[in-house]
Structure 1
Amino acid sequence: MDSLITAAARALGAGDPLGALKRVALRDDAPALALRGIAMAQLGDLERAKALLKAAGRAFHVREAVARARCVVAEAEIALVSRDLSWQPKALEAAQRVLEAQGDRVNAAHAANLAARRLLLIGQVDEAERVLAPLDLQQLPAASVAVHQLVSAGIAVRRVQTGPGRLAFERALAAARQAGMHSLVAEIEADARVLETPAARLIGGGNERSLTLAGVEQVLASEALVVDATRNVVRQAGSVVHLATRPVLFALLRALAETWPKDVSRARLVAEAFRGKEADESHRARLRVEMGRLRSELAGIAEINATMAGFALVPVAAREVVVLAPPVEDQHAGVLALLADGEAWASSALAIALGTSPRTVQRALEQLAEAGKAQSFGRGRALRWITPPVPGFPTALLLPGPLPGD
């Protein structure tokens, strides 16, 4: 490798893409194409970066397996940043194996970090942790350690484990500063704010207050009967009842929980669950049926008693009933939570992350656009969606992936 290529690589490692381009901008050999692609990616021109890296991968000889694998890793990183979740992860796994076999531990670790970040993005938290587990941080440079700890912090946040999350953020920040990578420092500082911003509202006993993620962790660990409106589940002492596919039952339960220990009138329950303006006889009959179904779902956790005015929720063992609700409630909260990371998303990537159909996501995006909460740019396959910052809007509790007990 000649001196210009070496100098350009060092400039990129130090976060100086312009310095790298000054040395290789006019060259078209394979190493120069690869470095130019990485530099363009750091400068934000992702389409040009992808084209350069593909050209570099073709230009390297088939026997230059390590160089070709590094190009694949760089392409995977661009795909992650541009939220191209359709990019095949098996290609990244194959590149990682080549790098490990050839002793390139740094780039192999970078591939593992990228794979874990992708898994975390689509809610596969346990799998992301499995990918990170074999990495030996003692053998890695500070920049790789910083990214590893940042992903570890993300895993802890998704699991609502604020202690491990805070520690991982601190370690990531220290490693990023040691590496002298100011952009990574800024990213870590921005992500760490999730621990200090409102993550939910606690509703109970006629009162309502905001909670940080640490407050949510305390509520989930308590003995209270928690009606969790961030995931549409009921939690109590390790028991979890999932009602995400039973929206009518959850609407009834939430109304009962918000009014506990008082009862709720039949008219209000009809309005909450069936969107009916008046509780006519057909609505009353359906209400009795749905209440019977809700009793079956809550067996062993809570009972539902009929009263003269309506119905009341009676916990079996818990002494308190609370509702955990998002700070800002929106019909398409999951889509907004993903868009809130500040990146431009394709509708297909949102569908993959949320585990739903592309058409469902497209309808949600169209409605958000009509409400001024999202906007698109580009056309065809290059169409991307972004959203302006929504004050107080949560992300951690609404992102894909399990919470404690799920």
Structure 2
Amino acid sequence: MDSLITAAARALATGDPLGALKRIALRDDAPALALRGIAMAQLGEFVRAKALLKNAARAFGQKEAVARARCVVAEAEIALVSRDLIWSQRALERARATLQAHGDLMNAAHARNLQIRRLLLLGRLDEAERLLAGFDPSPLPPALRTAHELIIAGVAIRSLRTKTARAALARAERAAREAAIPALRAEVENAIRLMRVPAARLIARGEERPLLLDEVETLLASETLVIDACRNVVRERDMVAPLATRPVLFALARALGEAWPGDVSRADLLARAFRARHADESHRARLRVEIGRLRVELKELVEVSATERGFALTPRRAREVAVLAPLVDENHAAVLAFLADGESWSSSALAIALGTSPRTVQRALEQLAAASKVRSIGRGRARRWMAPLVPSFPTILLLPGPLPGS
């Protein structure tokens, strides 16, 4: 490899894409095309970057399997950053196997990290942890060690294991200082900041206060009956009653939980669950039906009894009842939680990540755009959606994936 290619590769490794392009911008040989593609990706020019990497892979030819595999890994990283969630994972797995077989352990580790990051993005935490198990990052260079520790922290945060997350972030911070790449240090600082800001609200006995992530973890591990409005479940330690597909029942449960140990009037329940301003006999009949269904769904956890003016909730074992609510009660909060990462998303990628239909996501995006909470870029199949970065908007508890006890 000639000196210009070596110098460009070193510039890219230290996060200096412009320095790399100064050396190879006018060259069209296979190594230069690959490095130009990576440089363009670091500058955010993903379409041009993908084209350059595809050209580089063709230019390397069939005999240079390792070089082609490296191009595939670079393409996979661009697909992940640009939220192209339908990009072939089989191609990345084949590339990782090729790199491993030829002794390119650093790029094989990078490919593994990309696989895990995609699983984390989709909320498939069990699969991500299986890929992480038994992997020793100590031989890796500082930049890859930082990425690996950030992934461990991400899985731990999404699983609400805050001690594990803090330990991983401390290791990531040390590795990022060693790597001396400003963008990497900024990513670690953002992850650390997430642990220091409120993640949810606690509503109990008529009072309300913000909770940090470690306080949420403590709450869910306690004997308290928690009505979790972030995941739409009612839980008491390991006993979980999911109500995500029963919005009316969850609205009733939340109203009763917020009023505990008191009761809630029938008029207030009708307003919360059915948005009925002027209740008639049909609304009251429906309320009785839905209360009966709620009793069936929560029979192992609570008793719902009638009072003179409405209904009250009584836990069967727990001594306390609390509602865990998002910091901001927002329509389509899960969509906003994904868009809060600052990346541009297609509606199809959001549908995959949320596990719902593209049409449902499109309707949500149209409503959010009408309220000026998101904006679109491009048209047709190239259309992407973004949201303004709001530092206080909570994301972790609104993203898909199991919490403890699920």
- Shorter-chain TM range is over 0.9
Letter in 2 for 1:77: E
**Partner in structure 1 of residue 59 of structure 2:** 59
Rounded to whole Å, the distance in 2 between the matches of 1:236 and 1:278 is 35
1:56 Cα deviation after fit: 0.2
**Range with greater deviation from structure 2 (317-326 or 292-301):** 292-301
**Partner in structure 2 of residue 257 of structure 1:** 257
Provide closer, same or farther for how the CA distance between residues 329 and 391 of structure 1 changes in structure 2, counting only shifts above 3 A. Answer: farther
What secondary structure is seen at the aligned counterpart in 2 of 1:385? strand
**Partner in structure 2 of residue 105 of structure 1:** 105
Rounded to whole Å, the distance in 1 between the matches of 2:60 and 2:391 is 48
Identity of aligned residues (%): 67
Letter in 1 for 2:50: K
1:267 Cα deviation after fit: 1.1
Q: How does 1:82-161 map to 2 (within 5 A)?
A: 82-161=82-161
TM-score normalised by the chain length of structure 1: 0.98
Rounded to whole Å, the distance in 2 between the matches of 1:27 and 1:300 is 69
1:145 Cα deviation after fit: 0.7
**Partner in structure 2 of residue 43 of structure 1:** 43
What secondary structure is seen at the aligned counterpart in 1 of 2:54? helix
Q: 1:249–1:290: 8 Å Cα contact kept in structure 2?
A: yes
Q: Per-residue CA shift, 1:101-123, capped at 9, x if unaligned?
A: 10100000000001111110111
**Partner in structure 2 of residue 228 of structure 1:** 228
**Partner in structure 2 of residue 298 of structure 1:** 298
1:54 Cα deviation after fit: 0.6
Rounded to whole Å, the distance in 2 between the matches of 1:392 and 1:38 is 33
Q: How does 1:309-388 map to 2 (within 5 A)?
A: 309-388=309-388
Q: 2:374–2:386: 8 Å Cα contact kept in structure 1?
A: yes
What secondary structure is seen at the aligned counterpart in 2 of 1:139? coil
Rounded to whole Å, the distance in 2 between the matches of 1:22 and 1:344 is 28
1:391 Cα deviation after fit: 5.2
Rounded to whole Å, the distance in 2 between the matches of 1:392 and 1:3 is 47
CA RMSD of aligned residues (A): 1.1
What secondary structure is seen at the aligned counterpart in 1 of 2:20? helix
Rounded to whole Å, the distance in 2 between the matches of 1:39 and 1:214 is 39
Letter in 2 for 1:6: T
1:149 Cα deviation after fit: 0.4
Q: 1:160–1:404: 8 Å Cα contact kept in structure 2?
A: yes
Letter in 1 for 2:330: D
2:214 aligned with 1:192, yes or no? no
Q: 1:109–1:135: 8 Å Cα contact kept in structure 2?
A: no
Letter in 1 for 2:338: L
Rounded to whole Å, the distance in 2 between the matches of 1:352 and 1:206 is 38
Rounded to whole Å, the distance in 2 between the matches of 1:93 and 1:316 is 49
1:279 Cα deviation after fit: 2.9
Rounded to whole Å, the distance in 1 between the matches of 2:56 and 2:401 is 36
Provide closer, same or farther for how the CA distance between residues 68 and 189 of structure 1 changes in structure 2, counting only shifts above 3 A. Answer: same
What secondary structure is seen at the aligned counterpart in 2 of 1:312? strand
Q: 1:266–1:279: 8 Å Cα contact kept in structure 2?
A: no
**Range with greater deviation from structure 2 (187-196 or 226-235):** 187-196
How many residues are aligned here?
406
**Partner in structure 1 of residue 275 of structure 2:** 275
- Show structure 1 runs of 5+ residues with no match: none
Rounded to whole Å, the distance in 2 between the matches of 1:143 and 1:342 is 22
Rounded to whole Å, the distance in 1 between the matches of 2:9 and 2:393 is 40
Letter in 2 for 1:328: V
1:12 Cα deviation after fit: 1.2
Rounded to whole Å, the distance in 1 between the matches of 2:334 and 2:186 is 25
Letter in 1 for 2:177: R
Rounded to whole Å, the distance in 1 between the matches of 2:359 and 2:134 is 38
2:75 aligned with 1:75, yes or no? yes
Q: 2:204–2:258: 8 Å Cα contact kept in structure 1?
A: yes
Letter in 2 for 1:326: P
Q: 1:206–1:258: 8 Å Cα contact kept in structure 2?
A: yes
TM-score normalised by the chain length of structure 2: 0.98
Q: 2:237–2:405: 8 Å Cα contact kept in structure 1?
A: no
1:236 Cα deviation after fit: 0.6
Rounded to whole Å, the distance in 2 between the matches of 1:82 and 1:288 is 48
**Partner in structure 2 of residue 400 of structure 1:** 400
Letter in 1 for 2:212: T
Provide closer, same or farther for how the CA distance between residues 369 and 90 of structure 1 changes in structure 2, counting only shifts above 3 A. Answer: same
Provide closer, same or farther for how the CA distance between residues 243 and 345 of structure 1 changes in structure 2, counting only shifts above 3 A. Answer: same
Rounded to whole Å, the distance in 2 between the matches of 1:128 and 1:175 is 22
1:394 Cα deviation after fit: 0.8
Rounded to whole Å, the distance in 2 between the matches of 1:50 and 1:273 is 49
1:163 Cα deviation after fit: 1.0
